[in-house]
Chains A and B, each alone.
Chain A
Amino acid sequence: MLDQSKTNKITSDLLSHIRLNYAFKLWMGFLITSFLVCMYAYITQLDKGLAVTGLGDYVSWGMYISNFVFFVATSLIGMLISSVLGLSGAKWAAPLARIAEIIALAFAAVAGLVIVMDMGRPERLINVFLYGRIQSPITWDVTVVTCYVLISTLLLYIPLIPDMKYCYEKTDNTPKILKNIYKALSLNWIGSDEQKKILNKSVLILSILIIPVALGIHTVTSWLFASTSRTGWDSSIFGPYFVSGAFVSGCAAVIIAMNVYRSSYNLKDYITEMHFDKMAKLLVLVSLVYLYFNLNEYMVPGYKMKKFEAMHLHELFAGSHAILFWSVQVFGLIIPIILLLFKKMRKPSPMLIIALFVLLGAWFKRYIIVVPTMEHPFLPIQNVPFSFKVYTPTLTESLITLAPIILVLIIVTGLSKLFPIIPIQETIDHYEETK
């Protein structure tokens, strides 16, 4: 049996961040103020319709849809870390599982809102459920995103049950109502063998179930594009291409979150340099896979240069989107891969900067996938003003695009103030095993 003092230290360390301090209030105040500013922009869109955006007849998918794809992509990391690594017995990833799950849940839940933001008449969303055709990838997407949010919520909550007990018993200065919530959420947890057995079995079922659903969520998102015959989207590798890209942005998001939590919540003993080293290697691996898919996606049609493909590819390689295209590939993928091969770079601080670049690159990569194709329809665009032919996002649109990103930060920060970010019970068990 582990000595009591060690258990107490772990518990108090891991519960220490569940309190409202000055820094948190300042940060949350900043987030909420920015969010309200963005919501004001959204209200103008509700009032005037999509005319306040740069979208039009030809480019009808712009930053909002890029944002949606980015959100769905980033949410896939929950599956990779808590399920794939967990099932394969990679014990080092255990302390990161909850961070990954929080990121997954926040991004997946907000992704649904991002789609609503792209609607000029959001009250018509109900029609998707009333008149949706199951032949349409849009219906599949709505279904699979809902499933993923449900499973992610359960996968975040179930391993939390034993920790809820600690939260109820060991936290001080928490309001009574929060204590009651912890008690209710702990489901009378006493840690009996029978309870543990059911809990482990449930986690196992969810870990397996989430793999096809997570692959499904991003594959279906890719099919929203790939099931049309438009240049740049008409590709048979879009499913795996999107999924591998998803792991890149997800890993970057987790690395950033690890960094922030570690320094602001004083968790240096629990999220160690070893974790960063392993995450860096994981990021290199998934980035290499993604680079390989990029090579296939652009090199193969680029070698053939079929009439319409050529128009699209020239625009990406040397035309008006070239700077963005090459920046994304070089600064968001190739340079991070090379840098992370060096041991010196696999430390928390350099990785924070690299991960920010990767995440930014991942966002613009979605933009590069969505917008240029919309600017190249098969039927020529004639007799319209120049502004219809190219897409230029407006300020209002940019603020509305920013809103869900801020909302994710609010959710991620909020959840980390309510629940222990490192699983307490698992950490105790782990020390017990290795003693």
Chain B
Amino acid sequence: MASTAQAAGELASIPRILARNAAHYGDRPAYREKDLGIWQAWTWAEAAAEIEALALGFMTLGAQPGDKIAIIGRNRPALYWAMISAQMVGAVPVPLYQDAVGDEIAFVLEHCEARFVVAGDQEQVDKMVDVKDSLRHLEHIIYLDPRGLRKYDHQHLTAYTELQNKGRDARDAFQPEIKRRTDALGYDDTCVMLYTSGTTGRPKGVVLSNRNIIETAKNSAEFDHLRQSEEILAYLPMAWVGDFIFSVGQAMWCGFCVNCPESADTMMTDMREIGPTYYFAPPRVFEAKLTSVMIRMEDAGRFKRWLFKRYMAVAHRVGPAILDGKPVSGGDRMAYRLGEIFVYGPLKNTLGLSRVRVGYTAGEAIGPEIFDFYRSLGINLKQLYGQTEASVFITQQRDGEVFSDTVGTPTPGVELRIDDATREVFYRSPGVFVEYYRNAESTASTKDAEGWVATGDAGFIDPESGHLRIIDRAKDVGEMADGRLFAPKYVENKLKFYPDILEVVVFGNGRDRCTAFINIDLTAVGNWAERNNIAYGSYQELAGHPKVLDTIQSHVEEVNASLANDAMLSGCQIHRFLVLHKELDADDGELTRTRKVRRRIIEEKFADLIAGLYDGSEKVSTVTEVTYEDGRKGSISATLELRDAKVYPTENRMAAE
């Protein structure tokens, strides 16, 4: 409690922690960004000066305490600064997803009553200009990259650097007021508002206080012994709570350096150059990296392939044990060391993972093969479980206690409870959000009077390890017509572990059997097609190829076989499936911006295909509307082949018959 009281006194807000960092380690790098091919660095002192200049600029625009300032664009130091500048003038930063389209943005801006927007580039400014007239509160847009904006009407538009200059000129007039407002920030004042993408309905604005962010950052940083010398790569959406905790909360608390890549396309090169020591990526990123390694190995010469295979076998056998500090024979240790020289070291270097001391993945289940692959290379990859409402951390895995199918034990400060009847997971922690902005009804249904929050996920504590295991979304877990358990995500994840399969949607709630929609992975299947001399012109054509369907069918049947062994989930075997003619896409509303499947919308949109799966037809013709990146709409028509998959009798049923 002593540390809490102290934190509340001196470090009760992000601007105050910034002041501490600037004072104590002013000449250490705080932010780096690759610009014009060169890494530019800002020390804590320089960053603090930039942030103050922008805060002064906000004052010249008349920013008031409690105003909302929206921030939209790719990860750049200047946009992180904008969030802290907003806090300094008593305003609340609201980061938005940069790939959000017009009406999503309009809804959020109107809901939070944003007066100002800081936009990354012309693309984002264009979106703002499009929706501005329909918004009652938006007054001014500040842009970072001036390219293409020279000739825009600048009545409600100002360049970031220009606003900073105006602020510096007015320093004498506004500095005392900024100091007063910054000093007034307390532990329970709002730190940030993050809109959740929401699998259903309109996004909700999660209000997180300084207490939520700072306590969470402190507890989780201590848990993993994060230090001032860490390097992280900021590349995940700024509107996502994880990025806010890693790149703002923990970075500020520990005083480590946040590195911003040059662009999304240069990520791999930039990551190699930086060599982060603390790294977070969703499972699909690890999956994509592994896929690209495997594809490149298949194209390598015979000797290299032999070397890779030989030493990956060694790593697979003893790597995780060495990482966990378990006893391993001298011979194996020697072989592993040679492997490090020939294979693991160079491979980690190529992937930019050489220096990773703490790596995390979360958001979806990760395939055990993928997880083990990275751990066997000696990368300390762990899993955590969290959500926006908890300021990320609910549970995480401790060093040396890592399993691919659990999400760890509660983070320090978090209490966990599992409802006996519904199996839903509840938690209570210092990171628990204040409220959903202007939505008391949802707040009340999520958080009870004692501060317990419902996660919406069903899970249980694994009796062997004491770790939490998540089965599925609580509302998606259902019953089939005959009363057997229906857990779609469990089955989907099993299928998604095959590199050929990108996305799966399983149906069967309240029905007599399960069916599935499948999206193939264009990279993996495309490479396979090339090697086997199969020509294709589009995703749709490849997805409908009989040989592709055969491969997918064999995957489905393998999964069915493994489900048959699981007494609880044997009812979820997939009887019929189809490979969709288009990739599920967030622009069409089929996925959330964080790429989670929106079941209800898919069920409505493809109702004809689902009907086809259940009425036994062999072919279904359909027309689907698609939305392009710029918001235009088009449609694609296709005739899909529906296939039956072999299902296996379960031990239970055999006993019953």
A and B associate: no
Residues of A within 8 A of B (CB): none
